């Protein structure tokens, strides 16, 4: 047997030290690793492409779902829109979850969250193990409720009341703005709301006949979202409401204190009148059978009398040519029951009132008038400072301080002041009224727009049916009481700060032919700030802080267009516990109300054919705890822009 030349260990040693074929061997050993790396790269690239595709579908689906939810406010619409996007892009909707969530970006706003998860088949990666599929995920969140600034004109702010309620064939024309309720809306068949869009926050609006319409027809967008107070934080309103504190603390002027003075009677006893005039330091001349002239010396600045009376048919010129610097005091009542009584200018202090009666005519020149309360009842209506049952004219500019206000009986005419530099301070009569106009009477108060002019009233303003009342223009009309109008009232421009309420036709009345025009309640550049300490207790106005009562038609009130209270017409009580609201009752039709009605804690109602709308180039905005409209037509438009309220939602991808 031949013996081998080399042993096996030597062969292994030589192989280990050999250098031939090294590259081939190394390549063979590394090849599986290289193949694995290439496989992973290919699979990773495919996964990235799939993720981009899934992300695109997620974005589109979230956007579509949010848009659908914004328009329909239902999750079914949201799901349907998102799933349609998936199908259009070749994705099985089962691979996608769509959820309505709170927005991660904006508090109080909803969003649509879409997650896509698909399986990517693996091919090359199988050489490395049991890897057949890779899960590829993507997600997107689209926010609903990012709303572009849109006009809003009707707001029902309470989260617990009935929201916006329509009935009786009524129509709300809000064609250029949105209507919003913090609860729901009730729009039965036969009623309609024409609007750019409707917002609600609890129950989907009840509109069995699709009564929420766009201009030109078709359903208006209905969106679920919270409604905020559009005038919260309005500095002009806050400052105006703060003035109520000053008004509540006002007191009426005191009666003047006068010396006793001397009686004088102008009648047909010549000797008596002449003697009384001399005792008072003046002279009396009888010009004719029924005519007298009193002349007082100019070197005396004050002339004091006790009581003045006139006989029937008597005419008296009471020192009418005396200087305006003269002061006249009367410690008892001044009564004109004759024919005419004429005073010149000056300062007049009447401790016990001024009474005109019997069809007489009484005239004063311009001056200052300090008048106390009469001791006698005025025509059965209480005791006042001025009791006018005839014709009384007081020139101006004049200053009036009447401790017990003014009564003007039916058929009587009262003119107070002239020009614009007048000033008024009235206290309450024995019945609590500061101003009372009987049916068919006429009262005109000249403007009080001077730097030092005032218009302050402690007590109620009351005008009966058929009366004509012109209230002066003034920067501020401070009224510690209520304002009740049943006749024609012309409001001078300015802010009316009324402690209690404003009521038109609470117990009847209506428009009147006044000064060449048909007047119900008319005012331009006016604002009414109502404290609501008391509400009306009469008729259809019972319980309200603002009221246009039954049958009282033709109201025309317009807020100023600019300024701290620009476009704010009526502001109601601002305390949550004070829920007195505003009402336009049966027959209160053809109203033109230009400006915002702001009753955040009280209802705003229109019923029985009442109607209102903004004048040309004006607006009417209704803001209440709830809005109730029944049987009439109301045209509204935005007065003051709010931060929200819209017909359509702007959708934004936020994740």
Say if residue 210's pLDDT is above 90: yes
- Residues with Cβ within 8 Å of residue 442, at least 6 apart in sequence: 408, 412, 413, 414, 467, 468, 469, 514
Instruction: Round the CA-based radius of gyration of the chain to a whole number and report it.
Output: 42
Reported as a pLDDT band with limits 50, 70 and 90, residue 168 is confident
% residues pLDDT > 70 (the chain): 84
Q: Which two tokens stand for residue 84?
A: 């349609």
Reported as a pLDDT band with limits 50, 70 and 90, residue 458 is very high
The DSSP output letter for 86 is H
The residue among 279, 251, 276, 643 whose CA lies nearest residue 457 is 251
> How high does pLDDT run on average in the chain?
87
509/56: higher pLDDT:
56
Say if residue 338's pLDDT is above 80: no
Residue 524 parent element (H or E): strand 521-524
641/502: higher pLDDT:
502
Say if residue 643's pLDDT is above 50: no
For 392-413, the pLDDT digits (tens) are 999 999 999 999 999 999 999 9
Say if residue 430's pLDDT is above 50: yes
Say if residue 604's pLDDT is above 60: yes
What's the predicted TM-score (pTM) here?
A: 0.78
**Alpha helices by DSSP H, 6-98:** 8-17, 22-72, 75-88
pLDDT at 216: 84
CB contact burial 396-418 (16+ within 10 A = b; e otherwise): bbbbbbbbbbbbbbebbbbbbbb
Reported as a pLDDT band with limits 50, 70 and 90, residue 33 is low
Of the listed ranges 67-71, 85-89, 124-128, 476-480, the one predicted with least confidence:
124-128
% residues pLDDT > 90 (the chain): 60
For 284-335, the pLDDT digits (tens) are 999 999 999 999 999 999 999 999 999 889 999 999 999 999 999 999 999 9
Say if residue 578's pLDDT is above 70: yes
- Residues with Cβ within 8 Å of residue 519, at least 6 apart in sequence: 468, 488, 489, 490, 511, 512, 513, 554
Distances in whole angstroms, Cα of residue 361 to Cα of each of 120, 287, 289, 321? 105, 18, 18, 18
Distance of CA 612 to the CA centre of its chain: 15
Q: For residues 623 and 598, is the Cβ–Cβ distance under 8 A?
A: yes
pLDDT at 36: 58
346/220: higher pLDDT:
346
For range 570-584, the mean pLDDT: 96
For range 405-425, the mean pLDDT: 97
pLDDT at 110: 83
Say if residue 605's pLDDT is above 60: yes
Q: For residues 382 and 403, is the Cβ–Cβ distance under 8 A?
A: no
Reported as a pLDDT band with limits 50, 70 and 90, residue 644 is very low
Reported as a pLDDT band with limits 50, 70 and 90, residue 35 is low
Instruction: Name the one residue in this structure whose structure tokens are 């199908």.
Output: 87
Say if residue 3's pLDDT is above 60: no
Distances in whole angstroms, Cα of residue 117 to Cα of each of 43, 216, 325? 17, 45, 97
Say if residue 10's pLDDT is above 90: no
89/253: higher pLDDT:
253
- Residues with Cβ within 8 Å of residue 102, at least 6 apart in sequence: 109, 110, 111
């Amino acid at each position: 047997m031949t013996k081998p030349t080399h042993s096996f260990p030597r062969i292994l040693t030589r192989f280990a030290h050999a250098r031939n074929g090294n590259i081939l061997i190394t390549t063979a050993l590394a090849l599986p690793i290289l193949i694995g790396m290439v496989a992973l790269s290919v699979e990773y690239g495919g996964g990235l492409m799939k993720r981009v595709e899934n992300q695109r579908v997620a974005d589109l689906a979230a956007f579509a779902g949010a848009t659908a939810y914004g328009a329909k406010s239902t999750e079914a619409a949201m799901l349907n829109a998102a799933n349609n996007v998936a199908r259009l892009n070749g994705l099985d909707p089962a691979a996608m979850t769509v959820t309505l969530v709170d927005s991660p970006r904006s508090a109080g706003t909803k969003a649509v969250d879409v997650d896509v998860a698909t399986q990517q088949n693996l091919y090359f990666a199988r050489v490395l193990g049991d890897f057949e599929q890779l899960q590829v995920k993507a997600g997107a969140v689209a926010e609903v409720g990012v709303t572009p600034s849109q006009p809003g004109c009707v707001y029902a702010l309470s989260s617990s009341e009935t929201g916006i309620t329509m009935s009786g064939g009524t129509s709300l024309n809000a064609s250029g703005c949105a209507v919003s309720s913090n609860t729901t809306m009730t729009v039965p068949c036969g009623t309609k709301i024409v609007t750019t869009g409707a917002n609600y926050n609890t129950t989907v609006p009840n509109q069995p006949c699709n009564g929420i319409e766009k201009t030109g027809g078709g359903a208006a967008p209905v969106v679920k979202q919270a409604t905020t107070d559009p005038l919260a934080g309005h500095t002009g309103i806050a400052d105006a409401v703060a003035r109520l504190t000053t008004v509540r603390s006002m007191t009426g002027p005191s009666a003047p204190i006068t010396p006793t003075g001397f009686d004088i009677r102008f009648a047909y006893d010549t000797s008596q009148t002449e003697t009384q005039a001399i005792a008072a330091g003046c002279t009396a001349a009888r010009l004719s059978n029924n005519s007298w002239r009193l002349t007082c010396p100019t070197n005396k600045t004050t002339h004091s009398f006790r009581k003045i009376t006139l006989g029937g048919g008597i005419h008296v010129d009471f020192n009418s040519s005396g200087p305006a610097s003269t002061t006249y005091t009367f410690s008892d009542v001044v009564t004109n029951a004759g024919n005419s009584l004429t005073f010149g200018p000056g300062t007049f202090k009447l401790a016990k009132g001024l009474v005109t009666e019997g069809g007489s005519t009484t005239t004063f020149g311009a001056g200052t008038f300090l008048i106390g309360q009469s001791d006698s009842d005025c025509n059965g209506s209480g005791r006042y400072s001025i009791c006018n049952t005839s014709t009384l004219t007081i020139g101006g500019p004049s200053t009036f301080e009447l401790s017990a206000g003014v009564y003007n009986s039916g058929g009587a005419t009262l003119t107070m002041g002239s020009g614009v530099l007048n000033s008024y301070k009235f206290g309450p009569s024995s019945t609590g009224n500061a101003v009372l106009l009987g049916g068919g009477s006429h009262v005109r108060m000249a403007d009080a727009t001077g730097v030092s002019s005032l218009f302050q009233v402690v007590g109620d303003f009351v005008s009966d049916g058929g009366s004509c009342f012109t209230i002066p223009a003034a920067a501020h009309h401070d009224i510690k009481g209520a304002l009740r109008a049943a006749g024609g009232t012309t409001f001078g421009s300015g802010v009316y700060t009324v402690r209690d309420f404003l009521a038109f036709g609470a117990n009847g009345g209506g428009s009147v032919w006044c000064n060449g025009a048909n007047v119900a309640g008319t005012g331009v550049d006016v604002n009414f700030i109502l404290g609501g300490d008391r509400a009306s207790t009469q008729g259809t106005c019972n319980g309200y802080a603002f009221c246009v009562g039954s049958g009282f038609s033709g109201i025309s009130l317009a807020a100023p267009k600019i300024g701290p209270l620009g476009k704010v017409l009526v502001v109601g009580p601002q305390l949550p516990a004070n829920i007195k609201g505003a009402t336009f009752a049966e027959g209160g039709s053809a109203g033109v109300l230009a400006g915002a009605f702001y009753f955040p804690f009280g209802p705003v109602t229109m019923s029985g054919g009442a109607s209102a709308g903004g004048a040309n180039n004006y607006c009417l905005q209704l803001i209440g705890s709830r809005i109730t409209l029944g049987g009439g037509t109301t045209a509204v438009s935005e007065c003051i822009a709010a931060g929200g309220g819209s017909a359509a939602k702007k959708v934004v991808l936020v994740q």
